[in-house]
Structure 1
Amino acid sequence: MSGLIMPKMMYGTAWKKERTTELVVQAFKAGFRGVDTACQPKHYREDLVGKALQSLFAEGVVSREDVFVQTKFTSIDGQDQNQLLPYDPQSSITDQVKQSFETSLKNLGLDYVDSVVLHSPLRTKEQALSAYKTLESFVDQGKINYLGLSNIYDSKLLLWLIENVRVKIGVVQNRWYENNGWDWAVWEICQKYGIRYQSFWTLTGSPTLLRHPLLINLARKYGLTPEQTVYKLCQIWNITPLCGSSTLTHVNEALAVEGASGVLEDTPEVKQLWDAMHS
């Protein structure tokens, strides 16, 4: 079992379809070391992420110990039942989670996964807890390092789960964008309990932020693009963004931010933008 620390940025593979292998290989050859996928054929090709990883291992680009791999359990409500499902939908939630995780290991060609998250809360909080507890058993077996939750915007539910799980929640992956006020309430809970907050729709969901005069001024002052500035703010604010760009230039720009230290930190302009985003 690897003790790998989560990277500051993850490569997101949603909606990549048949290009998934090509794009994951491109991202890792450029320098990404974390990848996010899901056992959900509706939006992800987890099997092609696995094909990319095996190719990268075979070429010696990276070793398994260099790579942070994250996948998800997606409940039946998030699956397309006209597609081949990763588990028997008639089985119990416990068995669905077990079957889904075994499918993930097979798809990825791995014997352990660094992180597994519930793709969204289930229909009841008790069902969500049951699914999480099933994943806890794989942590006990050394097959998972981190457990987490995705698409959880109910602060009370998050706090209830924090109080009732045995294996600490290590990850929350949510939309972080202007239409939900950048999810600050959940972000604050994550900071309090030492949970790593991962963001998606970080750029595409915040066109107003990318045009904000304070952000534009920061970008100009420090020689960054507006997109790089948002990613750098995420670093400062303890957020791990998912970058799903299919363009090598944008991939390289994102990675340049991941390696940059000292830029923007503790500047009055950042505090002003923080205040504006919280108003």
Structure 2
Amino acid sequence: MTGITMPKMMYGTAWKKERTTELVIQAIKSGFRGIDTACQPKRECREDLVGQALKTLFAEGVVSREDLFIQTKFTSIDGQDKNQPLPYDPKLTIPEQVEQSFQTSLKNLGVDYIDSVILHSPLKTKEQTLSAYQTLESFVDEGKIHNLGVSNIYDSNLLSWLIEKSRIKVGVVQNRWYEGNGWDWAVWEICQKNNIRYQSFWTLTGSPSLLQHPHLINMASKYGLTPEQTIYKLCQLWNITPLCGSKTLSHINEVLAVESAIGMKEDTLEVQQLWNAMHAD
């Protein structure tokens, strides 16, 4: 990857609606340096309000552009709400849709480049997916995008195919990482083999039984963490970048405190026991 290194924790901006600007400012002032958004009004992902937050933060001198890792997404027409203003003309070809969406993102965010742009999901066909990805590759050539990736890709064969076909390496995969999909280990393993940063969402909400697992409860007690903090720390040990979308300052501070938590290592007995249990489920 070029530019700023992806932080070990990203702030997710989905579902913040009209509070997006306020909450992004709160997150950055608290210490977050990674922002995940999307050019997709359907998910109430107000990319334009993220841009307003950035404008305020830059003007106040809280951070500079170079201090932040900003990530957004191209969302195909199947993922858009046609009752909302679309970020591109759906009658255009896929490459033209991607280009218009990216230009909309630059305008919304008020920046000259974006650290990471990912496909919000694979498109209807492999060929369409590759076409959209290849269009994003051209912006990497121009220095306007630093990293590429894809979200919601749970077919390990499709991911391997995209890795093989892409000219500019897949640098990011963002998936649900939760008990409902067995923590997505097959895709995670491909990411480890190919030096791809795996980002997780639904990290806490989707895994209530993991939060109550005896091994995890014991770990939390031993290292002076909450169960939620323990999961975030485990993600970091396992080369997973979690997305946190909390709206409350106290929870944001708890999440950021994970970075300074000491003692827990990948090869400790408790971590290995939980790792084995999660792979056995």
Residue number in structure 2 paired with 1:255: 256
- CA deviation map 1:50-74 (0-9, x unaligned): 1001111111110000000000000
How many Å separate the matches in 2 of 1:143 and 1:7? 20
Unaligned runs of 5+ in 1: none
How many Å separate the matches in 2 of 1:125 and 1:166? 15
How many Å separate the matches in 1 of 2:159 and 2:2? 27
Look up the SS of the partner of 2:173 in the other structure.
Answer: strand
TM-score, L = length of structure 2: 0.98
Residue number in structure 2 paired with 1:40: 40
How many Å separate the matches in 2 of 1:61 and 1:116? 24
219-228 vs 252-261, greater mean Cα deviation = 252-261
Q: Write out aligned runs for 1:1-279 (5 A).
A: 3-43=3-43, 44-279=45-280
Look up the SS of the partner of 1:42 in the other structure.
Answer: helix
How many Å separate the matches in 2 of 1:111 and 1:259? 33
How many Å separate the matches in 2 of 1:53 and 1:3? 18
Alignment check: 8 A CA contact 1:222 1:264 kept = no
Name segments (4+ residues, structure 1) moved above 6 Å.
none
- CA deviation map 1:134-156 (0-9, x unaligned): 00000000000000000000000
- CA deviation map 1:198-217 (0-9, x unaligned): 00000001000001111000
Alignment check: 8 A CA contact 1:2 1:65 kept = no
Alignment check: 8 A CA contact 1:94 1:134 kept = yes
- 1:3 Cα shift? 1.0
Look up the SS of the partner of 1:6 in the other structure.
Answer: coil
How many Å separate the matches in 1 of 2:132 and 2:94? 6
How many Å separate the matches in 1 of 2:32 and 2:128? 35
One-letter code of the match for 1:78?
Answer: G
- 1:260 Cα shift? 3.1
One-letter code of the match for 1:188?
Answer: E
CA separation of 1:78 and 1:241: change in aligned 2, threshold 3 A: same
How many Å separate the matches in 2 of 1:205 and 1:28? 25
How many Å separate the matches in 2 of 1:234 and 1:204? 15
Alignment check: 8 A CA contact 1:149 1:171 kept = yes
Alignment check: 8 A CA contact 2:238 2:266 kept = no
How many Å separate the matches in 2 of 1:5 and 1:133? 23
- CA deviation map 1:96-141 (0-9, x unaligned): 0000000000000001000000000000000000000000000000
Look up the SS of the partner of 2:5 in the other structure.
Answer: coil
Alignment check: 8 A CA contact 2:4 2:66 kept = yes
TM-score, L = length of structure 1: 0.98
How many Å separate the matches in 2 of 1:61 and 1:16? 21
How many Å separate the matches in 1 of 2:112 and 2:66? 12
- CA deviation map 1:225-263 (0-9, x unaligned): 000000000010000000000010110010010233443
How many Å separate the matches in 2 of 1:124 and 1:109? 32
- RMSD of the TM alignment (CA)? 1.1
Look up the SS of the partner of 2:193 in the other structure.
Answer: helix
Look up the SS of the partner of 1:258 in the other structure.
Answer: helix
How many Å separate the matches in 1 of 2:171 and 2:260? 23
One-letter code of the match for 2:251?
Answer: H
Alignment check: 8 A CA contact 2:266 2:272 kept = no
One-letter code of the match for 1:274?
Answer: W
Identity of aligned residues (%): 78
How many Å separate the matches in 1 of 2:137 and 2:265? 39
One-letter code of the match for 2:99?
Answer: K
How many residues matched? 279
- 1:266 Cα shift? 2.0
- CA deviation map 1:14-45 (0-9, x unaligned): 11100100110000000000000000011100
Alignment check: 8 A CA contact 2:178 2:203 kept = yes
